[in-house]
Structure 1
Amino acid sequence: MAAAERRDDLGIEDGDDDDIDENELRRQEEAYQRQYENEQTWDQLQEDEHGNLFVDKTAEQRARRQRLLSAAQSARIRKGMIRYVLLVVDLSRAASAQDLRPNRLGCMLSLCRSFVREFFDQNPLSQLGIAVMRGGLVEKLTDLSGSPEAQVARLDAGKLGAPAGDASLQNALELGVSLLKQLPPYGHRELLLLFAALASCDPGNVLDSVKACKDNNIRVSVVGVAAEVYVCRRITEDTGGTYGVALNEGHLEQLLMAHSPPPPATAAQAKAELVRMGFPQRSTEEASSAVFVGQEARLLPGSYTCPRCRSRVPELPVECHTCGLTLISSPHLARSYHHLFPVQPYHEDSEERAEAAAAVQAQQPAMCSEVMTTTGAYCFGCLREVSEPGVKGQLHLTLRCGQCKQVFCFECDAYVHESLHNCPGCEFLGAG
């Protein structure tokens, strides 16, 4: 962009050049560049049947829906509700690169904090631990536990230090095997690597560690930050995991969050098995009733009492350190229920689907008289006016439930399938 054009875009006249500080002008230009850096508006251009170009406002929404549709493909597959996951973050010198904002390290740690919270929201019966790769070694930050706040507190750039040295995939796999092989067989053993380097500095043959992971039913998945590495692809293929390489910050978040829902159960884990669990009672939180809690015997005012051995634990879910009983609460089971019976994905509305649904909706109670619209179509979730199917240049996707035949906007579709886990139309009409 030329200097004159930049001055025009920033609202600066020629006569005011002497009145504006050069540093202020530079800061405004940098802010302007950051604002429009990722606005790739050419991706929204589409060509119609007559060869004319038009802007498709729904292209980004369609791309986002691919994640929902891919997750729905395994909706009726048996899931691993109890997971033991070790998250390994690459803090080698490759994490100090500036290709992500603010840098790779800051971007990765921020997304890891979001992933930890999303993981425990999707998997309340599971446990997660964190380790880091740096200087050719692997350091365990946290033990496997069910506390998201304890995990997030350790993912601080100031406490972790600066990236240094090389990354070692073999040491990460060996740590995962040593921590996960002793866990109960009914739980899913998973190792998730956030890998930023382009090479691995290992003390031996990394394929031997891959075989150890496979023998202990440990599923290894890798999220790459730089570029695809052959050894990462080999590890994931041999252990039944997934491998993806991020294109930008948004794609990295999408790849990492894809590991939040429970994965499909393997043939070795698909056999039915009853798991004995206990529902402990919460003791009073008064300071005068403080007792020694947990294996470390910490003095805490509040705790949970194991119904089998009467030992006290600080949080739920957890495994009793005395008798080994899995301790949970009833809300944990309730929050896992939607994985068993997920909401079927909505279909993008079309003229054919609208005509087929008109006969069904004619026999159902409607709110058309209460919702004032110019198009006659509205979202059943938020009652916002939506475009009719087949209209060129529509601003929002319109989707339709296959059971209740109601129309939903893109935002309500994402809310129903990601947070609510119940179709409002089916619940209202009693079809669910």
Structure 2
Amino acid sequence: MATNGRRQMVEDDEDIIDVDDSSLMNNQANYAWEEEYKRSWDVLQEDEHGSLAGVVNSLQQAAKRKRLLRDTDPIQRGIIRHLFIIIDLSKAMQEKDLRPSRLSLTFTYLEAFIAEFFDQNPISQIGLVGTKDGLAEKLTELSGNPTEHIRALKLKKFQETGGEPSLQNALEMARSSLVHVPAHGSREILVIMGSLTTTDPGNIHDTITQLTQDNIRASVIALAAEVQVLKVLTTQTKGTFGVAMNEGHYRDLLFEVIPPTAVTTTKTASNLVQMGFPSRSNDTAATLCACHGKLTLGGYICPRCNAKLCDIPTECDICTLTLVSSPLLARSYHHLFPVENFVEVAWKDASTTTQCFSCQKMFLSPHKISLQLQATTEAGSQPRRKAGSALNPGAGSSGSLTRR
């Protein structure tokens, strides 16, 4: 009787522990980096060949197609853009809720963002501003040279972070540069904020009001949580606000800034914008450039004042003429009349199409795709031999293979 009573008490304790553990697991909130891998095996199913490679590829392609879906309405957009990116370099960026850390992931994504931004907006310009220790530092001026911005990011990537950011100082620094750009180009600010606090010397709402009066559009990507002052900033300046939930969502929020925004009706319209097409200069001797005041070899000659500048697109520092090239102008034109989104069809509906219309690459038939998947499955299912092979059974740790 005593044994049965003790056994019953143990079973009751186990039941209590199981109930508490299950309720604790149900009520416990997951971290951001755990959401992507939460029971990820439930959505995977083997294909007809018993392989997971095809399923994983299809999931990746579906996610990629979802990101590529865009608005294809032919509306007026500002293809000449001036964008300042404000980067939080405070101590909060060392948090590791985004792997490997918020700062490292931000610099990695920004390098890809800058390259893609200038690929889709070749006549636009970007500037970088960093903020930490209650101060703001201009990393790069407004420029259309992606190499300059990527070089500045790589130099800043391994420098020490610290203190608290100053959102007001960073916004004022970006505003002082954007207020002088021509009215026919858009004025935009993108804030990447990892801290929940900001150390400002004055009333930040006065700065937000000034941004609204100067027609500067501010968007924010928060890495920690929604902050009221950031929400007010985006609401009053007609920008966008988002909180990154994981690494993939962070990248999606960042790359949503790349397509140019629609032109509002309240903005001052410019019927014609005067532009110049400079000629390439191949000097044998170094001459002074008008943009940096340095001795350089080569450059571009302004057709109006004959001043030499290092890169295009840019604005001539002497006569303020916008300098572009015809290929850059043509590449920006596709935003006004975007291509329709691709529609996925079955092989039986596309039997007459054998190659891509754009790049002329031949499509693989369903039979060849099945053979490739089958070969991949067979290669992955073959058992690995130990160090001692049939040709040399003496090699290896133990003679598991014997000669008959």
TM (norm. structure 1) is 0.68
Q: Residues 282 and 304 of structure 1 are in contact (CA less than 8 Å); yes or no, is this contact kept in structure 2? A: yes
1:332 pairs with 328, 347, 367, which one?
Answer: 328
Residue of structure 2 equivalent to 1:242: 240
Cα offsets for 1:342-366 (capped at 9, x unmatched): 1111234479xx7xx68xx8xxxx3
Measured after TM superposition, the shift of residue 45 of structure 1 is 6.0
Give the aligned residue type for 1:143.
E
Residue of structure 2 equivalent to 1:216: 214
Whether 2:304 is the aligned partner of 1:304: answer no
Distance in structure 1 (CA, Å) of the matches to 2:293 and 2:191: 33
What does 1:230-269 align with in structure 2 at a 5 Å threshold?
230-269=228-267
What does 1:77-226 align with in structure 2 at a 5 Å threshold?
77-156=75-154, 161-226=159-224
Q: Residues 192 and 222 of structure 2 are in contact (CA less than 8 Å); yes or no, is this contact kept in structure 1? A: yes
Cα offsets for 1:271-295 (capped at 9, x unmatched): 3421111011111153xx3211124
Q: Residues 44 and 56 of structure 1 are in contact (CA less than 8 Å); yes or no, is this contact kept in structure 2? A: no
Residue of structure 2 equivalent to 1:41: 40
Query: Measured at CA, do residues 45 and 200 of structure 1 come closer, stay the same or move farther in structure 2, by a change above 3 Å?
Result: same
Distance in structure 2 (CA, Å) of the matches to 1:40 and 1:149: 41
Distance in structure 2 (CA, Å) of the matches to 1:239 and 1:332: 29
1:383 pairs with 363, 371, 394, which one?
Answer: 363
Give the aligned residue type for 1:383.
F
Q: Residues 309 and 323 of structure 1 are in contact (CA less than 8 Å); yes or no, is this contact kept in structure 2? A: yes
Q: Residues 95 and 197 of structure 1 are in contact (CA less than 8 Å); yes or no, is this contact kept in structure 2? A: yes
Q: Residues 314 and 322 of structure 2 are in contact (CA less than 8 Å); yes or no, is this contact kept in structure 1? A: yes
Measured after TM superposition, the shift of residue 382 of structure 1 is 4.5
Distance in structure 2 (CA, Å) of the matches to 1:344 and 1:43: 34
Cα offsets for 1:311-361 (capped at 9, x unmatched): 11111111111000011111111211221221111234479xx7xx68xx8
Measured after TM superposition, the shift of residue 101 of structure 1 is 2.2
Measured after TM superposition, the shift of residue 233 of structure 1 is 1.5
Distance in structure 2 (CA, Å) of the matches to 1:290 and 1:59: 54
Distance in structure 1 (CA, Å) of the matches to 2:308 and 2:125: 19
Measured after TM superposition, the shift of residue 205 of structure 1 is 2.1
Give the root-mean-square deviation of aligned CA atoms: 2.9
Q: Residues 136 and 166 of structure 1 are in contact (CA less than 8 Å); yes or no, is this contact kept in structure 2? A: yes
Query: Measured at CA, do residues 105 and 157 of structure 1 come closer, stay the same or move farther in structure 2, by a change above 3 Å?
Result: farther
TM (norm. structure 2) is 0.73
Cα offsets for 1:147-183 (capped at 9, x unmatched): 1111111102557621111112222222222111121
Residue of structure 1 equivalent to 2:286: 290
Residue of structure 1 equivalent to 2:316: 320
Task: Structure 1 unaligned segments of length 5 or more: list them.
Answer: 1-33, 47-54, 371-379, 388-394, 396-432
DSSP-derived class of the 1:86 partner: strand
How many residues of Structure 1 are paired with residues of Structure 2 in the alignment? Answer: 322
Distance in structure 2 (CA, Å) of the matches to 1:43 and 1:167: 42
Q: Residues 183 and 268 of structure 2 are in contact (CA less than 8 Å); yes or no, is this contact kept in structure 1? A: no
Query: Measured at CA, do residues 255 and 385 of structure 1 come closer, stay the same or move farther in structure 2, by a change above 3 Å?
Result: farther
Query: Measured at CA, do residues 43 and 80 of structure 1 come closer, stay the same or move farther in structure 2, by a change above 3 Å?
Result: farther
Residue of structure 2 equivalent to 1:229: 227
What does 1:331-410 align with in structure 2 at a 5 Å threshold?
331-349=327-345, 366=352, 382-385=362-365
DSSP-derived class of the 1:337 partner: helix
Query: Measured at CA, do residues 170 and 160 of structure 1 come closer, stay the same or move farther in structure 2, by a change above 3 Å?
Result: farther
Q: Residues 244 and 253 of structure 2 are in contact (CA less than 8 Å); yes or no, is this contact kept in structure 1? A: yes
Distance in structure 2 (CA, Å) of the matches to 1:188 and 1:126: 9
Query: Measured at CA, do residues 316 and 100 of structure 1 come closer, stay the same or move farther in structure 2, by a change above 3 Å?
Result: same
Measured after TM superposition, the shift of residue 40 of structure 1 is 5.1
From the CA coordinates, give the structure whose radius of gyration is larger: 2
Q: Residues 316 and 322 of structure 2 are in contact (CA less than 8 Å); yes or no, is this contact kept in structure 1? A: yes
Q: Residues 91 and 162 of structure 2 are in contact (CA less than 8 Å); yes or no, is this contact kept in structure 1? A: yes
Distance in structure 2 (CA, Å) of the matches to 1:62 and 1:247: 20
Task: Structure 2 unaligned segments of length 5 or more: list them.
Answer: 1-32, 46-53, 368-372, 374-404
Distance in structure 2 (CA, Å) of the matches to 1:273 and 1:162: 48
Distance in structure 2 (CA, Å) of the matches to 1:267 and 1:160: 44
Give the aligned residue type for 2:68.
L
Distance in structure 1 (CA, Å) of the matches to 2:272 and 2:304: 18
Distance in structure 2 (CA, Å) of the matches to 1:325 and 1:314: 15
Measured after TM superposition, the shift of residue 43 of structure 1 is 6.2
Distance in structure 2 (CA, Å) of the matches to 1:167 and 1:331: 40
Q: Residues 124 and 144 of structure 2 are in contact (CA less than 8 Å); yes or no, is this contact kept in structure 1? A: yes
Give the aligned residue type for 2:205.
L
Give the aligned residue type for 1:102.
P
Q: Residues 107 and 157 of structure 2 are in contact (CA less than 8 Å); yes or no, is this contact kept in structure 1? A: no
Measured after TM superposition, the shift of residue 63 of structure 1 is 3.8
Distance in structure 2 (CA, Å) of the matches to 1:173 and 1:203: 12
Residue of structure 2 equivalent to 1:427: none
Q: Residues 174 and 209 of structure 1 are in contact (CA less than 8 Å); yes or no, is this contact kept in structure 2? A: yes
What does 1:37-76 align with in structure 2 at a 5 Å threshold?
38=37, 41-42=40-41, 44=43, 58-69=58-69, 71-73=70-72, 75-76=73-74
Q: Residues 104 and 157 of structure 2 are in contact (CA less than 8 Å); yes or no, is this contact kept in structure 1? A: no
| Percent identity for Structure 1 against Structure 2 | 42
169-178 or 190-199, larger mean C-alpha shift = 169-178
Q: Residues 129 and 174 of structure 2 are in contact (CA less than 8 Å); yes or no, is this contact kept in structure 1? A: no
DSSP-derived class of the 2:183 partner: coil
DSSP-derived class of the 1:155 partner: helix
Distance in structure 1 (CA, Å) of the matches to 2:39 and 2:209: 44
